Amino acid sequence: MRAKVHGEATKAVQFTSGLQYLRCMQHWIRWMCVIVTCSGSIWASAQVREGEWTLATFNVRYDNPSDPLKWTERRDEVAQIVGFYDIVGLQEALPHQVQDVADRLPWMSHVGQGRDADGGGEACPLFYNHDKWELLHHETLWLSSDWKTPGAVGWSADLPRIVTVAWFHQVETGRRVRVYNTHWSHVSAEAREGSARLIASLDAIHKADATAVLGDFNEEADAPGRRALVDAGFVDTYDEVRARCRKTFPSYTTFTPEGSSGGPKIDAIYVKGLKTEWTCVDEIIKKDVFISDHLPVHAVVSWVAVRE
């Protein structure tokens, strides 16, 4: 079945540009379970049914010229991933990388600024399909006790860390979701736990039909920071075993596919007020390597009762 579908899609459409490719894939993704590309990469996606929508998180790896696949060689594929989903959080994205993705996705808008005091440096932008979602408010906060101060370094972290927060209104249903996109410290467990408690406290203050936390948490699910999110009522979509595309999957792999299946799962999507229908990673290979050192994680979700 999968081979037949892929063959028909390839035969029916001649892709002459990245944009045409992406538009076609958006059409096919509505009913295909798995697409195997000519390069051997796997796009694992469930059928998105009425009432369902999609979230994704993707550490795109900052533009490092010494990487095995340069940014200019992988930016089209990164944009293709982003364009599949409704709301997507990126991490490690430098200003020109954000612009490169935006230029390839005219049906999407984005918010967020860099972590440095002047607004530059690595960002955690949120991309969203502006035909389906209306932006109500957004802000960038620094993960520290002084979260409103640009460039603030929190707790025992070694550099500024941020969370991009946005409120969205779903055009079709009128329901609202608040989304956090974050990248936690890689050196400090104290800073990661402090980051979790800050996000949890912000969520407790503001009311919405649902909340999602997207990010590279730089720790496994049983670490104190991520446990603090669970204690605050968030559910890791990965923990919904019935919705998982396979028994286990990693998220940090380096660029090398060989031996990556046992890698750590430090990237995740947490939700509150949403039901997880499906979750997986997208494994895209170009020139024999992954298109980032992290795999993009995605989830298909649906609304549950309005939170009191």
Quick one: pLDDT at residue 298? 98
Quick one: pLDDT at residue 48? 84
The mean pLDDT of 225-242, rounded to a whole number, is: 97
CA angle, corner 161, sides to 135 and 183, nearest 5? 65
Q: Does residue 38 register a pLDDT over 60?
A: no
How many CB atoms within 10 Å of residue 116?
Answer: 15
CATH number of the domain residue 166 falls in: 3.60.10.10
Residue 51, both tokens = 């009432």
Q: How many whole angstroms separate alpha carbon 246 and alpha carbon 248?
A: 6
Q: How confident is the model at residue 306 (pLDDT cuts 50, 70, 90)?
A: low
Q: How many whole angstroms separate alpha carbon 181 and alpha carbon 88?
A: 9
Quick one: pLDDT at residue 150? 97
Q: Tell me, yes or no, whether 1 lies in a domain.
A: no
**Which residues constitute the domain of residue 280?**
53-303
Q: Does residue 22 register a pLDDT over 50?
A: no
Condensed to tens digits (0 to 9), the pLDDT of residues 196-213 reads 999 999 999 988 999 999
Contact yes or no for 224/185 (Cβ under 8 A): no
CA-closest candidate to residue 220, choices 256, 181, 263: 263
Condensed to tens digits (0 to 9), the pLDDT of residues 269-304 reads 999 999 999 999 999 999 999 999 999 999 999 999
Q: What is the Rg, in whole angstroms, of the alpha carbon atoms belonging to the chain?
A: 18
Q: Tell me, yes or no, whether 7 lies in a domain.
A: no
Q: How would you classify residue 7: left for phi > 0, otherwise alpha for psi between -120 and 50, otherwise beta?
A: alpha
- Lowest mean pLDDT, pick from 3-17, 109-123, 197-211, 267-281: 3-17
Quick one: pLDDT at residue 294? 98
Q: Tell me, yes or no, whether 89 lies in a domain.
A: yes
Residues pairing with 34 in the sheet: 44
What's the total number of domains in the chain? 1
Q: Does residue 160 register a pLDDT over 90?
A: yes
Residues pairing with 183 in the sheet: 216
The mean pLDDT of 144-172, rounded to a whole number, is: 97
Give the containing element (helix H, strand E) for 126: strand 126-129
Q: Pick the more confident residue, 234 or 241.
A: 234
Q: How many whole angstroms separate alpha carbon 140 and alpha carbon 150?
A: 9
CA angle, corner 294, sides to 114 and 260, nearest 5? 165
Query: Which DSSP letter does residue 33 get?
Result: S
Q: Tell me, yes or no, whether 308 lies in a domain.
A: no
Residues pairing with 303 in the sheet: 274
Residue 308, both tokens = 């009191």
Q: Tell me, yes or no, whether 14 lies in a domain.
A: no
> Considering the entire predicted model, what is its pTM?
0.86
Q: Tell me, yes or no, whether 23 lies in a domain.
A: no
Q: How confident is the model at residue 118 (pLDDT cuts 50, 70, 90)?
A: very high
Q: How confident is the model at residue 129 (pLDDT cuts 50, 70, 90)?
A: very high
Q: How many whole angstroms separate alpha carbon 193 and alpha carbon 174?
A: 34
Mutual orientation of helices 18-29 and 2-12 as an angle, nearest 10°?
Answer: 140
Q: Tell me, yes or no, whether 122 lies in a domain.
A: yes
Contact yes or no for 211/234 (Cβ under 8 A): yes
How many CB atoms within 10 Å of residue 160?
Answer: 21
Contact yes or no for 92/122 (Cβ under 8 A): yes
Q: Tell me, yes or no, whether 107 lies in a domain.
A: yes
Q: How confident is the model at residue 178 (pLDDT cuts 50, 70, 90)?
A: very high
Quick one: pLDDT at residue 261? 86
Whole-number mean pLDDT of the chain?
Answer: 88
